A and B are shown apart, each in its own frame.
Chain A
Amino acid sequence: MRRIKRSPHPFEHYLIELRGASRGELMEVAEALGLGLTPEEMEAIRDYYTLSNRPATDVELQTYDQTWSEHCYHKTFKGVIETPDGVVDGLLKTYIRRVVEELKPRWCLSVFEDNAGIIEFDEEYAIAVKVETHNHPSAIEPFGGAATGTGGVIRDVLGVWADPIACTDVLCFGPLDTPYEALPKGVKHPTYLFRGVVAGIGAYGNNMGIPTVNGAIYFEEGYIGNVVVYAGCVGILRKDEYVRAVKPGDWILLVGGRTGLDGIHGVTFASAELTEESEVVSRPAVQIPNPIEEEKLKRAIRAVAEQHLGSGITDLGGGGLSCAVCETARRYGLGAEVWLDRVPLKYPKMAPWEIWISESQERMLLAVPPQNLEGVLEIFHGEQTEATPIGRYREGGVVEVFHQGVRVAEIDLDSLFKPPRVRRRTTWRPPALEEPSFPMPRDLGEMLKRLLASPNISSREEVIRTYDHEVKGCTVVKPLHGWNAGPSDAAVLKPLRDSWRGLAVSCGLKPRYGRIDPYWMAASAIDEAVRNNVAVGGRRIALLDNFTWGNPEREDRLGALVYACRACYDVARAYGMPFISGKDSLYNESPLGPVTPTLLVTALGIVPDIRRVVTLDLKRAGDPLYIVGVTKPELGGSEYYRLMGFLGASVPKLKPGEAMGIYRRLIEAMDGGLVRACHDLSEGGLAVAAAEMAFTGGLGLEMDAAAVPREGELRLDLLLFSESNGRLLVEVSKGRGGEFEELMGDLPHARVGWVMEGDPLVIQREGEIVVNLPLGELLEAWKTPLGA
């Protein structure tokens, strides 16, 4: 191509003449270099080079491509959106970050600015947390994609100097019984993806010795073409270890694994739609995992943190060195010079631009003051991992990149971090849906068993057992509770040896509701995450948002996203719980259409004393069982409707004020020692939650459906399986029911039954027994293997 000329140097390096280029020519350049930039962005770059009056280099253009990608810059969340209800000036600012800005909680130490969100744990320690998506790579290569997702999010936590103590994973697949004929070319079967992703997550977490303690697996048709993989990590650090004080003259240290050709253009790939060709074209964009390298890296970084030898740190993720160097230099108001020929390579003869943007795993960037360099190098040497000074920070907002003595890029950070703002429009119309009408099944016990066995409710034991969830010996409430391995609402960790303070980790996601209404889907996801946390005694809750959405350039997808974001603000603000970190993955489109719009909400709560923690298993015969919250005819998107073959329209809504009132009182009741067991009502509603409490504890239960507080007309099956938000079942210590009722006051609550010695689970209504099943049968149904 006329505008691209190879430079005379003895390595691959190109000069690109953008001055005077037309839009068409610019896009030809973009295509030739494999850039994902839009015409508007290419024009902005051309204008910069016209003003600077020089040709661009390939290294420079690749830097713009990486930095301006949706993956790195979150253009959509930062852009201007015209909606039918007015202009939204940045979704992130307007809805997500605004909660923390308005609440200004003292305990939020760093939010939405660093690799991970940081909140206070106690006076001395802080908690760091991040949740990432790794959808695109997992669709191509499930094992490597999921494993590097976990590896990447662990590095995010290391990237604020924290010691990773727990992982989470939330996975969404197409139904495992999807017929092969239904798969378009290039789309892999859900069973293949499921096995690969689960193995990848387990392999990485287990090898690194970080327990995988919380998560979810969801099956839905909308995920056949777009598998969704969320990987999260929680870390702990002493507050004084959080150092960010890079000065001019500090060394730039590249540490950990070597740089190779894996993961080239990963962010560009992640910001595009999946096509039939993705397998062939984008396989090199998927990185290769090596958890043992990262284990060594972790030890060394923690040693540097404990000895306060570094002045800054960041993860090498999307965009590789290019993003890590430019972003850190920008953050500290500095520039930098980097010598690419010093970067240790997996094999020789990589072009400068490839070294600069490679996303090879298990690498991080450290800033080290000159006087500490020797000490830091010694630490890495002692852990048998490499650390190489590849450049220095310096004054001025320019990053210069050299290779074999030749300057291959001169990047002006002001221009790099001012991409043209995206301007998008939305329309969203509620889908035309109807509430189904069908006769009530005769045998509700049979329905209950079928629900327990359904893929979105049944036991995840076969997966969870392959994750080490107890390494480090700090998992106080495990994901599988007790000897019957019941489903815990949240995991609770005791991270410090000499403190009883605990951390509750929970999540919520309601993808199916999104097919009816994105606003209530998001509201329900937040409420579920919070409810799960409250169920074990968590409070002072912090939230994380992770959106997986379709192409935001299509107005309907973006319209739904705006509604979901709006719900995030409304509910989080009403709950007084800030979002502290988040990540979005857009462009999840395949030949089958967009992904089911999915919001994962992760919640982190504090349990002041783990000796007071509450679990879901029924504990003593003779105890009364209470329900809190109101049951409504809200079955749209429910598992019960799905089982009957419907979607429905009556999506569960939420009254945040009332729900939060209930949660506050419930926590008071727990602190007062009134609560013996507690379990959240979610998929499958009241009957499923009651069954889970009973078989986990190995104790029977007698329940009266007539006593359940309700609103509206509710047929018995709908009452038992409704998924209304804001509800929990609570076992109260015998003889203390009065105290509990007094505490709940006029908030909706009712005693619905009693814990019984041994079998069975009995549900009656006005004397008529409608469910009567031995616990063994319920447990067996619930333990139906996935894909059976």
Chain B
Amino acid sequence: MRRREIRVLILRAPGTNCDGETVRAFRDLGVGVDVLHTQRVFKERNLEEYDILVFPGGFSYGDYVRSGAIWAKECEYHIGRDLEHFIDQGKAVLGICNGFQLLVEAGFLPGFEGKARYPQVALANNTTGGYQCRWVHLRHVNRGGCLLTSSLPRDALLRIPVAHGEGRFLLPREVEREYLRRLYENDQLVLRYTKPDGSYAEGEYPHNPNGAYHDIAGICNPEGNVLGLMPHPERAYFGWQLPDWTRCEEPPRYGDGRLILESIVKYVERRF
């Protein structure tokens, strides 16, 4: 598939607020982008027209109950089957921040045996300092199973900001070990928080900004085409978005966030 033929759908619900910068980033990559209100998609049932589906950041429906929970249930009810079909075809689904929370609440992630009826993991309240808006260091730990980040070198170190109050990746205590083993076996771990020197944060604040278990910042489904991230790649897309770009004699044109989004586009180019 040629890049300009690729079509990205960015869904939004009341309270979604990172759609603008996500559109800007994808457009810069040369793909076609639509932003649609989720109600319209519920009515038109037109997911089929798209190759990449993005659930962007924000506070859908005020994040009452649990972050992303209301929007997730609404999507399951109206377009649950369509979403499953979309994913079964190998098309790309990306959830950023609130979008990641939605994918977890809807049971698509980690999705050990396909879509789960109930959430299998949680993105819980940060243990430290409440809402956190800060740049973090991340390591791409995936071994190739995540199709969407397969263009990123293994162990690549990335600098991308987070901004959330509920981002602490958590496994159910009684199956913690088992789930972690499965995440490793299925190669579902994608990004982990590190210190500036690249060693894992080991839960240490602020390098791990929310207290996430095993420093987990992003995971994919076993098939590797559904990706959930707490960090915001669209806020680290251009060089001038970096926190220290004014220190560079020649500021970089792009930031590390672009690597992730471009890798998704490349996957679709290759696959279809």
Contacts and interface: CB of A to CB of B under 8 A. Distances in A.
A: interface residue count bin: 35 or more
A199 B62 CA distance: 15
Contacts of A296: 14
B134 interface: yes
Nearest to A481: B243
Interface in A614-628: 614-615, 617, 619
B251 A471 contact: no
A470 B163 contact: yes
B199 interface: no
A470 B131 CA distance: 13
Contact of B18 (A209, A478, A611): A209
Interface stretch (B83-91, B179-187, B221-229, B233-241): B233-241
Contact of B131 (A202, A478, A494, A614): A202
Given A470-B235, A481-B243, A497-B24, A292 B15 contact: yes
A475 B247 CA distance: 16
A648 interface: no
A408 B73 CA distance: 46
A473 interface: yes
A472 B20 contact: yes
A472 B163 CA distance: 12
Nearest to A211: B133
B166 to A, nearest CB: 12
Contacts of A382: 37, 39-40
B246 A614 contact: yes
Contacts of B196: 483
Given A206-B59, A469-B133, A470-B133, A615 B246 contact: yes
Give the residue among A464, A474, A617 with the most B Cβ atoms within 10 A.
A474
Contacts of B240: 476, 494, 610-611
Contact of B234 (A291, A469, A473, A611): A473
A784 to B, nearest CB: 16
A617 B163 contact: no
A55 B237 CA distance: 66
A208 B132 CA distance: 16
B113 interface: no
B17 A208 contact: yes
B247 A617 contact: yes
Given A382-B40, A384-B39, A473-B235, A467 B133 contact: yes
Which residue, B232, B237, B247, has most C-beta atoms of chain A within 10 A?
Answer: B247
B110 interface: no
B161 A611 contact: no
Contacts of A292: 14-15, 59, 61-62
A39 B269 CA distance: 77
Interface residues on B, range: 35 or more
A468 interface: yes
Contacts of B243: 478, 480-483
Contact of B133 (A199, A466, A494, A617): A466
A465 B132 contact: yes
B59 A468 contact: no
Contacts, number: 105
A122 interface: no
Nearest to B247: A619
A466 B59 contact: no
A359 interface: no
Contacts of B129: 462, 465-466
A209 B135 CA distance: 18
Interface in B226-272: 232, 234-235, 237-238, 240-241, 243-244, 246-247, 251
Nearest to B237: A473
A613 interface: yes
A598 B148 CA distance: 54
Contacts of A697: 247
Contacts of B218: none
B131 A206 contact: yes
Contacts of B40: 382
A464 B251 CA distance: 25
Contact of A483 (B15, B130, B135, B237): B135
B244 A611 contact: no
A467 B129 CA distance: 12
Contacts of B235: 470-471, 473
A206 B131 CA distance: 9
Contacts of A611: 240, 251
A477 interface: yes
A207 B133 contact: no
A40 interface: no
B14 A472 contact: no
B58 interface: yes
B200 to A, nearest CB: 18
Contacts of A383: 14, 37
A613 B246 contact: yes
Contacts of A199: 130
Contacts of B251: 611
Interface string A179-210: 00000000000000000000100100011110
Nearest to A482: B244
A384 B17 contact: no
A169 interface: no
Contacts of A639: none
B246 A295 contact: no
B5 interface: no
Nearest to B57: A471
Contacts of B59: 206-207, 209, 291-292
B132 A295 contact: no
B30 to A, nearest CB: 15
A786 to B, nearest CB: 13
A477 B245 CA distance: 9
Interface in B1-42: 14-18, 20-21, 24-25, 37, 39-40
Q: Which 5 A-B pairs have the closest CB atoms?
A: A209-B17, A473-B21, A292-B62, A615-B246, A482-B244
Interface of B: 14-18, 20-21, 24-25, 37, 39-40, 57-59, 61-62, 129-135, 161, 163, 196, 232, 234-235, 237-238, 240-241, 243-244, 246-247, 251
5 contacts: A206-B131, A292-B62, A470-B232, A476-B241, A482-B247
Interface of A: 199, 202, 206-209, 290-292, 295-296, 382-384, 462, 464-478, 480-483, 494, 497, 610-611, 613-615, 617, 619, 697
